[in-house]
Amino acid sequence: EIVLTQSPVTLSVSPGESATLSCRASQSVSSNLAWYQQKPGQAPGLLIYGASTRATGIPARFSGSGSGTEFTLTISSLQSEDFALYYCQQYNNWPPSDTFGQGTKLEIK
Amino acid sequence: EVELVESGGGLVQPGGSLRLSCAASGFTFSDYWMSWVRQTPGKGLEWVATIKKDGSEKYYVDSVKGRFTISRDNAKNSLYVQMNSLRAEDTAVYYCARARHYDILIGFYSDYWGQGTLVSVSS
């Protein structure tokens, strides 16, 4: 099983600044990685797929990068609505055995 | 607008059964693979099962194989999961999600999610 490790567990950033979230895979997942945002009481929502492609309607301040085992989600000019939980997910295997990271909580500093 | 609405969650005793449903609208349901994903405070998000557009292929996480059965009714735009022999560790919020992939030899990400339904397994 591919294990995804997200860091940090909690990230405190001030509005208007940038945030960098990391996701490391225990083995290569190529570019088959997605990022999700989850707000309290809500379902996760897709932000990024293919490691760097923004999902429909996602603002350009969200960007993803990386391949292989190291991935980054960068959020620039943080808005109040961006403070939430963020999860990465790999989907590199067939038959599917998709796995998620444990999440990073982005909180207001 | 894509909408996924789960139902059927509740409290069930260990060893019991439950059937979850997901009503889909806003897209051509039969054109998409569909998944169930669950979330617990302790284990976070966990992919549970995925079913092909026509129901001919089904895939499960190891921990539910032989106990859960995913199915769909394209005429009713509905997704289901029959959960038998439930255990305490199956307690979670269960999400229905539209599954996407762009290569036949890789897995799926989920581009739309329902609001979830809570399953509690306890005596």
Task: Check if B104 contacts A (Cβ < 8 Å).
Answer: yes
Q: How far apart are CA B2 and CA B43, in angstroms?
A: 28
Report how far apart, in Å, the C-alpha atoms of A5 and of each of B14, B56, B62, B68, B72 are. 32, 34, 21, 28, 33
Flag whether pLDDT at B20 surpasses 80: yes
| Residue A25 pLDDT > 80 | yes
Share the mean pLDDT of chain B.
Answer: 96
Residue A64 confidence (pLDDT) = 98
Whether residue A93 is predicted with pLDDT greater than 90 in this model: the reply is no
The neighbouring-strand residues paired with A89 are A34, A100
Residue A57: how many other CB atoms lie within 10 Å: 7
* Confidence at A95, pLDDT banded by 50, 70, 90: confident
So what's the pLDDT on residue B64? Answer: 97
A94 pLDDT band, cuts 50/70/90, is: confident
Which residues lie across from A19 on neighbouring strands? A75
- A34 → closest Cβ in B105, B109, B112: B109
Q: How many beta-carbon pairs under 8 angstroms link A with B?
A: 65
Confidence of residue A106 (pLDDT cuts 50, 70, 90): very high
Residues in chain A with CB shorter than 8 Å from the CB of B107 are 32, 90-94, 96-98
